[in-house]
Amino acid sequence: MDHIVALANGGADDDDNLRAINRDCHKEKTQRESRRGGGV
């Protein structure tokens, strides 16, 4: 499961902020967010 808005960026840990994505997409999203310093 993926937090649409990362918890570290104030995202909630509830169903409205979660989505199912595959491992490769999650890794790519995490790396992209790390490079730009945040979620979404």
pLDDT of residue 8: 85
Separation of alpha carbons 24 and 14, rounded Å: 23
Mean pLDDT by 10 residues, the chain (40 residues): 92 98 96 78
Separation of alpha carbons 11 and 23, rounded Å: 20
pLDDT of residue 39: 53
3-state SS, the chain, equals CEECCCHHHCCCCCHHHEECCCHHHHHHHHHHHHHHCCCC
Tokens of 40: 């979404």
